Amino acid sequence: MARKKKLLPTLENITITGVAAEGKAIAKNDNLVIFVPFAAPGDVVDIKLTRKKNSYAEGKIAKVHTYAEQRATPFCEHFGVCGGCKWQHLPYEEQLKYKQQQVADALSRIGKVEPEHFYPILGAEKTQFYRNKLEYTFSNKRWLTWEQVESNESYDNMNALGFHIPGMFDKVLDINKCWLQTTLSNEIRLSIKNYCFEHEGYPFFDLRNQEGFMRTLMIRTTSTGDLMVVVIFFYEDVEKREALLNYVAEQFPQITSLLYVINEKKNDTITDQDVLVFKGKDHICEKMEGLTFKIGPKSFYQTNSDQAYNLYKIVRDFAQLTGEESVYDLYTGTGTIANFIAKKAKKVIGIEYVPEAIEDAKVNSAINHITNTEFYAGDMKDLLTADFIQAHGMPDVIITDPPRAGMHQDVVDLLLATEPKRIVYVSCNPATQARDLNLLDAKYIVEDVRPVDMFPHTHHVENVASLRLKENPQS
């Protein structure tokens, strides 16, 4: 006999007191910590509990009695349903304050380190339309909001082109206007969707049953005016595909790179797929401080170009290069940081797991006539060894920009054994960065820290820390 699910209570007149690391708000009730999305510190609300453990609970707002003074009006019609931009209800200055605090808490509680200089977070001048890349999903399982469900309207067309609903792998929210990328990006998405609605033979993808023609859409932009559109189909239908792509090319002559993919796999990734050119170039170009960076459909490039430039300048300043240093750039990606700092270094060696990214890095060095860089592909913990360092020279400075999981223990151990004079650690996850800084504490002093806001209206924060070798490091 199945156990009955325990009904959880609704807590009344609860004051929201803070913001948690993952972006949810925090409240307390009888020593129980409660995490609540879309609330702001100072709100007085009723909370319907959705999950309860011994030390914490999760819930959602059932009723608002009083809104906090420090609140902003969300500007997007999809706020509260879409999985992105969850902090639109917080004024931007408040967002920056909580992000700064998030980094400070991680450093003190997890890292047990106190930097000599903790600089204020660098906020973004542009807090809307700041992304240079977005990916949308075609789906025949449109997500309906409660308002739409309760309206009793008939929804014959359940197709959607937009973003996946958090926690619902096969449900997609149809997006009317996204405030993350340019108006032109919105126009392209809506035009493609309407074309598919108005012409037969363009069924949207059914993820569960693995059927349908239209699969995903990627749009990339640059400050140079280049524009890439990649349409991903589930199977080849030359007549239908060419008709759609010709329409897109005619409607949007601004597109400099119109590409397509036939992806018959069960997942949406295209890293192992052939990307074919329909019209224009197979890449776009971004410029930064006189450098040109070639970006292909599979290339990684920071999605906020303006803040990426600011981030790289902080990295370069923290590295304190004089032109005589040998620099290792770990997790180099497409070599953006390596090429950006190359003119200030004697030699830069970039290491990255993805071979295609390393090829991009080499191309970016070549097109910028940079001759003092070398790039190698391989798993960091396997490639970066004592033998590798012996073959390529001891690094004076190491720049590391690992994924969210942080650095592998073997990589940390090698840094400690190698003892470069300076380490600059870039992180998109202050918690794992703080963990690694704690491990490096045996030989390094955390000198400078500066957070950078790459993603306004989200809880995500980038952080840059510089470390210098202690005068008498422990053995």
Distance CA 346, CA 353 (A): 24
SS3 312: helix
- As to burial, measured by CB atoms within 10 angstroms (0-12 exposed, 13-18 middle, 19+ buried), residue 92 is middle
SS3 121: coil
Dihedral sign computed on CA atoms, order 376, 381, 384, 385: negative
Distance CA 420, CA 398 (A): 7
Distance CA 148, CA 144 (A): 6
For every residue of 433-467, DSSP letters joined together read HHHHHHHHTTTEEEEEEEEE-SSTTSS--EEEEEE
- As to burial, measured by CB atoms within 10 angstroms (0-12 exposed, 13-18 middle, 19+ buried), residue 322 is exposed
Residue 129 half-sphere exposure toward CB, CA atoms < 13 A: 9
Q: Give me the count of residues in the chain.
A: 475
Number of continuous H segments (helices) and E segments (strands) in the chain: 11, 22
SS3 9: coil
Taking residue 176's Cβ as centre, other Cβ atoms within 10 Å add up to: 12
SS3 254: coil
- Rg from Cα positions in the chain: 25
Distance CA 355, CA 441 (A): 32
Has 178 been annotated as catalytic?
no
Residue type, 4: K
Helices marked H in 234-290? 238-251
Among the listed residues 178, 196, 285, 428, the single catalytic one is: 428
- As to burial, measured by CB atoms within 10 angstroms (0-12 exposed, 13-18 middle, 19+ buried), residue 475 is exposed
Distance CA 315, CA 338 (A): 11
For every residue of 14-44, DSSP letters joined together read EEEEEE-TTS-EEEEETTEEEEETT--TT-E
Query: Catalytic residue positions?
Result: 428
